[in-house]
Amino acid sequence: MSGQAAAEPREPGIDGEQVAALLPMLRRIVAARVGSHPSAEDLVQEALVRVLDARDRIEPGMLEPYAITTVRNLVATMWRSKDRDDRNLHRALDPTEPERADQAVVVDEERVAMAQAVARLDDEDRAFLLAHDVEGQGTGPLAEASGSTAGAVAARLKRTRARLRVEYLLALNHVELPTDRCSPVLLAVSAADRRRQREVDAAQHLLECEVCASLAEPLAARGPTRDDEVTIPIEADPDIVTARKAAREMASRAGLEGTDLTLIATAVSEVSRNIVRFAGSGEVVITLVAAPAPGVRVVARDAGPGIEDVPRALTDGYSTYHGLGLGLPGARRLMDEFDIVSEPGRGTTVSMTKWTDRKARP
């Protein structure tokens, strides 16, 4: 079962700049109650967006009192949650820590793992790699000796290095790949080949396979990075803050400003929080887009239990947990475009876009 929903236009209400003017006051209230707590700015932004969301229902002259009450309630809820977590901490805490391995043993293990990885390469690929990286032969002489071209040799060396990185991690971690899909996905990640990653549906596989997910991070770190896209793994509450900050930074680069920065950051908080609460893990991908106008696209995906009734989940007031946020309905209202596809047992993907040009907005 799957469902899709499009964004609905918001009714005009209190001007957004009036709400934005509340920021200094909200920050003073939060600072007086939580000091320099890491969640201080999150509380301010959550309060601001709640006021924005309710602005059409706020009576004249009641904007500031409503905002003050909202932020105080959020602070009180946070402290209650912290007290509950502190009381239950002993149930999850493991006070034991493994002894630190001797550095010489670590070096020896890495050396053995590399030798095993090299041995797993095809004979011809291994010979090419050793000739180039150990003996110092250039791609020109290697191409001439093999009857190929320098470009083809360079491409082959790139593929071989990508496989070597995969084999090294497998040997170092003593891991056996659980499915036939694993190897193509890890090779595509190691080579930073985005076209191939799409062909093998790497993103979905990494959400479903814990083994590949654990190996993908060090593999991806070796490849080239893009400055127009960032991927945030989501597993716990601190990751929500990271995703929120990344969304604000990317939105600012796109040209969004003022309350729009708050809106997109909070929408990212909502979809990230859903991943943590319901799926346990997933990822949020934030991308700069250029057409039909500059903007930011956010894709949040997980391989969790999915949503049985998507239309109901997008209904105001519907929630299966008692959290601080606005949920999916709030995220939909905060963004210019919103789409959700969910299949029970397979996961959920939420796609959202915020445009800088209001003419491009629905």
233 vs 226: CA distance, rounded Å: 16
Burial (CB < 10 A; 0-12, 13-18, 19+), residue 261, is: buried
Average pLDDT, the chain: 79
Tell me the pLDDT tens digit for each residue of 105-160: 555 677 787 888 888 898 888 888 888 776 767 777 888 888 888 777 778 888 88
Instruction: Give the pLDDT score at 207.
Output: 84
> What's the CATH code, domain 16-82+227-360?
3.30.565.10
Does residue 12 have a cis bond before it (omega within 30 degrees)? no
**3-state class (DSSP) for residue 153:** helix
Whole-structure pTM over 0.75, yes or no?
Answer: no
Residue with structure tokens 């990508």? 162
Instruction: Give the pLDDT score at 256.
Output: 87
DSSP one-letter string for 154-207: HHHHHHHHHHHHHHHHHHHHT---SSTTHHHHHHHHHTT-HHHHHHTTHHHHHH
Instruction: Give the pLDDT score at 356.
Output: 87
Domains of the chain, by residue range, sit at: 16-82+227-360, 107-222
Which residues of the chain fall short of a pLDDT of 50? Answer: 1-12, 89-102, 223-225, 320-325
